[in-house]
Structure 1
Amino acid sequence: MTLTLTPHKLSGSVTPPPSKSQSHRYLIAAALAGAGSVIHNLADSQDIQATRHCMSALLDAGKAWWPLFEVPKDMPPEELKACQARQERALQATGGDLPLLFCGESGSTLRFLIPVALALRGGARFWGEGRLMERPQKPYFDLFEEKGVYYRQRENILGVRGVLAPGEYRLPGDVSSQFITGLLYALPLLEDDSKIMLTTDLESRNYVDMTLEALAAFGVKADWLEDRALVVPGGQTYRPAEVAIEADWSQAGFWYAANGLGNEVDIKNMNPRSTQGDRRAAAYYEKLCQSGTVDLDVSQCPDLVPELAVHAALRAGQTTHIVNAARLRMKESDRLAAVREELCKLGARVTEGPDSLTIQGVDALTGGRVDSHNDHRIAMMLAVAATRCSGPVTLTGAESVRKSYPNFWEDYTALGGRTAREEDV
C-alpha cells in the first residue's frame, strides 16, 4: 500500500497498542498452562498471530484456550485461508512427521519456540518469510552440536529434532536476549535443574527480566544467580493465570518523537515502572529536547532507534550520536541503513557507522518519495517525519505497520495526520 502523507500538525490523546514483547511472553506461558488463563489487552498484530498459531500447532488442542482471551479476534477468513494454503504447500515440499510452525516474519516467535518445540514435541519445522530465516541462530546451533540435537536449514525452513536435556547451557549475551528467553520457557519443563551461563555481557537485560516476570505470573520459578548466570529448576508446571498486557513503550516512542518535532500528542496509559526496556523512550526524549551534543547508548533498547533518529534529525544545529546498535542490521530490514537512507531522502543529515548513526540536526525536512523497506518501524518513523516536511511524502509499503501496530494509521489520522492512498491523490 502506498500512502501520500500531507504535512499537518498532530494533536490529541493516544494510547499505544499492547506491548508486543509482553504479549508474546504471556501468550506462550498461558498456552503452556493449558485451559483457564485470561489475558486482557492482548496484541493482535501479525507477530502475535504467528505465536498464537504456532502454539496451537505444538499443543494440538490449542484452540481450547483461545476463546478465553478477551482479545484478539480470530484472523480474518481470507488471511487464514491464505495462510493455510501456504502451510499446505510447505508441508508438501518438506514432508516429515514434526509439526510445521509458520512464524511469518517474527523473530521472537521463532527463537522463543525452538527450545519449547524440543521440550514438548522433540522438535519442529519452522517456516519463515521475508528476512526471518536470514537472522542468525548460531547460539542455538552451537548448543545443539554440543547437546546432540539435529538441525538443518533449507532456505526458509529450519528443522530441529532431538531431546532437550537438563544441564548447563552456555551462550553469548550480546547477540540477542531472545535465545535466553527461549531456554527460560523450555527448561522448567525438564525433569532436573538447569543453568544458563552467559559467556559475554548481556545486552537487553530488561527483556530477560520481562520473561522472568511472565514466568512468575504463571507459577514458574527462574532467577538470576549472578550477572551472567540464571538458575532454572526443573520439574515445574505452568499454572493458569489472569494477566493484563501493558501499553507498548517502543510504540509510544514514535509519539514522543512526534512531540519532539513540534506536535502535541498526549500519550496515555503508560507504566513508568514497567520492565519494558523501551521505557527509556521518555528519558531519551528529554535528552533530545536539550541543546548541545547528545550521546544515546541503545544497547538495551535498539528498537527505539528509528524514533530517536527522526527526533534528532530536526534538532537544528545540534549533533546526536546513537551508538551500540549493530543488532539492527538483522531486523526486518538493515535498520541502520534504512534509517539513514530514508531520512536523507527527506533532507536529513545522517551518517552511518558499523554500529551507529551520527545525525546533524537541520531546520526542516523536504517532501518526497520514501520506502518502508517492509519494516514497520521505518514506516512509522517516516509518518512522524512527514508532519514536519515542507511538501507531501509518498510512502510505499505503508501496510508494514500491521506487524506490530495494526491501528497505527487510524491513530495517526485521529490525531490529525493527513493520509491518502496514492491512487486517490
Structure 2
Amino acid sequence: MTSIKVTPGKLQGELRIPPSKSYTHRAVILASIADGTSIIKNPLLGRDTMASIRACQALGVKIKVGENTVEIQGPGPNTAPSDIINVENSGTTLRFMTAISALSPNGHTVLTGDSSIRKRPMQPLLDALAQVGVTCWSTQLTGTAPIVISGGGIRGGVANIDGSISSQFASSLIVSCLRARSKTEVHLIGDTVSRPYVDATLEITKRFGGTVDSRQAETFTIPANQTISPTNIEIPADLSSAALLSACTVMTDSQVTFRGIDFTLPQADMQIIEMLKCLGAQIKFDAAKAKLVVTNDGDLNGGTFDLHDCPDLTPVIAVLALRSTRVTRISRIEHTRFKETDRISILAQELPKTGAKVTEYPDGLKIQPPSSIQPCELDAHDDHRLFMAFCAAAMAASAPCIIHGLETIDVSYPSFINDLTSIGATFEVMDK
C-alpha cells in the first residue's frame, strides 16, 4: 500500500472537474446494447469504468479506447465470455453486468471481484431477475459474488425489487429490460436509497432513445424489444469529485474556481452546493460559464445532514465536521455500510485520530469537532472516497499527516494529487 504525507497549506487557482464515474459506466453499458456505433466523449477512464469496458468486451462488444473518447460498436452482448469476468472493486460493474449478461444469446457468465466485492449484497437483484425469467445464482449461496448468469435473454414481466441497499439494482434491471421479449414493470419496494442515481439512469437511457415510463411513483414500465440508438454523448463533470475538491478548499480557508460544472443532468451530489452554504462557505455559481467559485475564511457551522439520497457525500460532510464549531450529525446512511468499506464504521474508527469525538449509530454518525485537527496517520481501508476526504482533513491539520491508500484514487479520480498540487497543495509520496 502506498502512503502520502500531506503538509497543511492554502490553495488558490482554478481546476477543471473530472468526468462523472456514474455517467461513464451508464454510457458504456447503454452504448454496448445499442444498434450501431456510439462515441463517448470526455469519459472517466478510471479503474472502475475500465472494469465495465472490459466486461462489455468479454461479452463480444467491440470497444476502442482513445485518449479522450471511447468508441463502442453494438449491439451486444453477442457471445458468452470465454473466461470469468473480474470486476475488481467496481460495484457498479458487478450490478449492471449481472443483468446485462442475461442478454447473451446462450452460455453462462461468471462475475466476481476482489474481497470487498465478494461481500456486497446481490440477492435483491438476483431475485428480481428470476422474476423476469433469468436463471442466476450466487455460487456460495450467500447472495454475493461470484455470480453465475445464464444467457438466453430476458422474458420480461413484473419484478419487485428491494431498493433499500442500493439503487443500482433498479438501474441495472431497467437498462437490461429495454431488450426484454415482453413488456416489463419494475416496482421499487422498501425505502429506496440514492434515488437520484435512478433518475440519472433514466435520463441517459432517454439520450440513447430508450423508453421508460416513470410517471407512476416507484414503478417503471419498459416496452419490449426496444431498439437502442447509437449516440454521441459527452460525459458531464463528476459532482462527487467536485464535492471532495470543495472540501479541500473549505478546510484550508481558500478560494478555488472549478470549471466544467453542469447541472443539466441529474446527479445526487449536486446537493453539496446547498450543504456548503449551510455550513457557512461562500458559493458562487455561474451556469452560463459552467463555473463554481468556493471560498471559506473561518470555522463552519456544523448541523444535521440527511444523506439518504447522496451517500457518497458522507466522507465529505464527516471531514467538514472537523472544522465546525458545533456537533455535526449525519443520518440515514445505513446503506454506506455496503460500499467499498463500511464507511460508517471506518469513519468512526479513523476520525478520532484527529482529536474528534465520534459516535457511531446503525444509520449514521455524530461528530464532535476537535479544537484543532491533530497530526496523525489515517487509513482509507482501500476506499477511494475516504482517501480523498482524509487528504482534505490533513490539509487543515496543525502539522503534516500520513494518509494510507494512495493507489485508490485510480478508481474515480486518477489525477487527484496532481490537480491539487497544481493549486498549491503539498504532498510527498512514500511507502507504508
TM-score (norm 2): 0.87
Aligned to 2:149: 160
Aligned to 2:180: 190
Name 2:273's counterpart in structure 1.
Answer: 282
Q: Does the 8 Å CA contact 2:178/2:223 hold for their aligned counterparts?
A: yes
Name the CA distance, whole Å, in 1 between partners of 2:114 and 2:302. 40
Aligned to 2:76: none
Partner of residue 327 from structure 1, selected from 331, 335, 340:
335
Q: Which residue number corresponds to residue 110 of structure 1?
A: 94
Q: Please state if 1:244 is matched with 2:204.
A: no
Q: Work out the CA distance in 1 between the residues paired with 2:115 and 2:136.
A: 25
Distance 1:99 1:196 in 2: 31
Tell me how far apart the structure 2 counterparts of residues 211 and 182 of structure 1 sit (CA, whole Å): 9
From 95, 100, 105, the equivalent of 2:84 is: 100
Q: 1:135 — aligned with what?
A: 120
Partner of 1:81: none
For 2:9 and 2:105, locate their aligned partners in 1 and report how far apart those are by CA, in whole Å. Answer: 53
User: What is residue 306 of structure 1 aligned with on the other side?
Assistant: 315
Q: Which residue does 1:13 correspond to in 2?
A: 14
How far 1:67 moved relative to its partner?
4.9
Partner of 2:292: none
Task: Measure the CA separation in 1 of the matches of 2:18 and 2:157.
Answer: 38
Q: Which moved more, 1:140-149 or 1:227-236?
A: 140-149
How many corresponding residue pairs?
398
Partner SS for 1:373 = coil
User: Are positions 1:361 and 2:366 aligned together?
Assistant: no
> How far apart in 2 are the matches of 1:356 and 1:282?
21
SS in structure 2 opposite 1:410?
helix
**1:308–1:103 Cα change, 3 Å:** same
**In the alignment, is residue 271 of structure 1 matched against residue 280 of structure 2?**
no
- Tell me the distance in 1 between the aligned counterparts of 2:362 and 2:259: 36
Letter of the 1:381 partner, please give it: A
Residue in 2 that maps onto 1:221? 211
Alpha carbons 1:119, 1:186 under 8 Å: kept: yes
Counterpart in the other structure of 1:78: none
SS in 1 for 2:87: strand
TM-score, length of structure 1 as denominator length? 0.88
Other-structure match for 1:339: 347
| Cα shift at 1:322 | 0.6
CA displacement at 1:225 relative to structure 2 = 3.6
Offset of residue 99 of structure 1 = 5.1
**Alignment match, 1:29:** 30
One-letter identity of the residue aligned with 1:350: V
Which structure shows the bigger proportion of residues in helix conformation? 1
TM-superposed deviation, 1:34:
4.9
Residue 53 of structure 1 deviates from its aligned partner by: 0.4
DSSP-derived class of the 1:104 partner:
coil
- Once residues 221 and 36 of structure 1 are traced to their aligned partners in structure 2, the CA distance between those partners, rounded to angstroms, is 20
C-alpha contact (below 8 Å) 2:301/2:324 kept by paired residues: no
- CA deviation map 1:196-249 (0-9, x unaligned): 012224322211111111111111111214111100001111111111101000
Q: Which moved more, 1:23-32 or 1:290-299?
A: 290-299
Please report how far the alpha carbon of residue 309 of structure 1 lies from its aligned counterpart in structure 2 after TM superposition.
0.9
- Provide Cα deviations, 1:55-89, integer angstroms capped at 9, x if missing partner: 1111x2x33x425784369xxxxxxxxxxxxxxxx
What does residue 422 of structure 2 align with? 414
Match of 2:357 among 339, 349, 364: 349
* Percent of paired sites with the same residue: 29
Counterpart Cα distance in 1 of 2:192 and 2:379: 33
* Inter-CA distance 423–53: structure 2 relative to 1 (3 Å threshold): closer
Deviations 1:72-129 (A, max 9, x none): 69xxxxxxxxxxxxxxxxxxxxxx9765222111000010111111122454100201
Aligned partners of 2:58 and 2:39: how far apart in 1?
20
Query: Quick check: 38-47 or 160-169, which moved more?
Result: 160-169
Compute the displacement of 1:257 (Å).
1.4
User: What's the offset of the Cα at 1:392?
Assistant: 1.1
- CA distance in structure 2 between the aligned counterparts of 1:391 and 1:265, rounded to whole angstroms: 22
Q: Assess if the C-alpha contact under 8 Å between 2:188 and 2:219 holds in 1.
A: yes
Structure 2: stretches of 5+ with no match in the other structure: 72-79, 282-299
1:208 matched to 2:198: yes
C-alpha distance in structure 1 between counterparts of 2:399 and 2:200, whole Å: 42
Contact 2:177 2:222 in 1 (8 A): yes
Task: Give the AA of the match of 2:138.
Answer: R
Cα distance, 1:18–1:99 mapped onto 2, change above 3 Å: same
What value does the CA root-mean-square deviation take over the aligned residues?
2.2
Q: Secondary structure at the match of 2:233?
A: strand
- Tell me the amino acid that sits aligned with residue 403 of structure 2: L
Alpha carbons 1:4, 1:395 under 8 Å: kept: yes
Q: Partners in 1 of 2:417 and 2:134 — Cα distance?
A: 48
In structure 2, distance between residues paired with 1:365 and 1:421: 21
